[in-house]
Amino acid sequence: MTRSPRYDPDENVSRHGATDPDKCEDMADKYGWNLVRIEETGEPMLEVDCVFDGETEFPASPYEPKHEREE
């Protein structure tokens, strides 16, 4: 199965994989993102793609060394 791009500039949406649809709602609440829709992936581990408005990125992990973080 061909995966959709993480950020789709044509549609101006971002996708983040999740184990179930409830996790999409959790991400939206936690990061303040607008959840547009949930797409099934057909994959056994990350069963859905959460689709959010715009280009969304997770904040850098405090456990990741500073020299390895993308700025």
pLDDT at residue number 66: 72
What are the backbone dihedrals phi and psi of residue 69, each rounded to the nearest 5 degrees, phi first?
-80, 140
pLDDT at residue number 1: 45
pLDDT at residue number 62: 83
What gap in Å lies between CA 5 and CA 10, rounded to an integer? 11
**5-41 residue pLDDT tens:** 799 999 999 999 999 999 999 999 999 999 999 999 9
H or E element at residue 28: helix 21-31
How does strand 48-53 pair with strand 35-40?
A: antiparallel
Nearest CA to 44 out of 63, 24, 60, 20 is that of 20
pTM of the full predicted structure?
Answer: 0.81
